[in-house]
A and B are shown apart, each in its own frame.
Chain A
């Protein structure tokens, strides 16, 4: 079945450590996204990528980094510079039609907790 796979589902990190969240899709989608979800704040965009080897900062990119070396993969690294990393992280992908993206499909999320 085609879809988006995020791993791990739960992740614990000590303060001062970097941690990488995995996102893989086999939908042959062009664009991929990372969102952060906090209670009562909806989803906020961290980074997005329209094509391989290119990505753009979203609204809350500070303290995060990404790479897009393959079309299928868009890992997110939460660095020690992110002051409040405890949150639910969602990866999504969408297909380009002309200049527009179609609707986004989401993974099941990774819940990151700093201990």
Chain B
């Protein structure tokens, strides 16, 4: 069965510090992987996606993620946090043969001065 696990429901960083949000997945076939961001009382916005090809993908707002098949991971990083990055982040999986997204439980990122 396909699943997504996000490690850490809450992450807090200082402004200017590295952001690392962890995502591990389970899939019996090569997955398509996504990171979404959600601001309070809003819908989800796509940050980046991995389908095939280059394993390091760059997204909007300076975020990037690396697909590591051996570790079944797709962690999201940003070198320097900004106050505006405070939001909830969701990792999601779309697996071949399944035409629906499976989401992790989300990680709420807090950025403090």
Contact = CB atoms under 8 A, between A and B. Distances in A.
A114 to B, nearest CB: 18
Tell me whether chain A's interface is mostly helix, strand or loop, or mixed: strand
Given A31-B99, A40-B9, A48-B100, A101 B94 contact: yes
Contacts, number: 59
Interface residues of A, number: 29
Contacts of A31: 99
Interface string B18-36: 0000000000000010101
Interface in A77-106: 88, 90, 92, 96, 99-101, 103-106
Nearest to B104: A42
Contacts of B106: 40, 42
What interface size band does chain B fall in? 20 to 34
B90 A43 contact: yes
A75 interface: no
A100 B99 contact: yes
Given A42-B106, A43-B90, A100-B32, A109 B101 contact: no
11 contacts: A35-B103, A43-B90, A43-B103, A92-B44, A100-B96, A101-B94, A103-B34, A104-B44, A106-B43, A108-B42, A109-B41
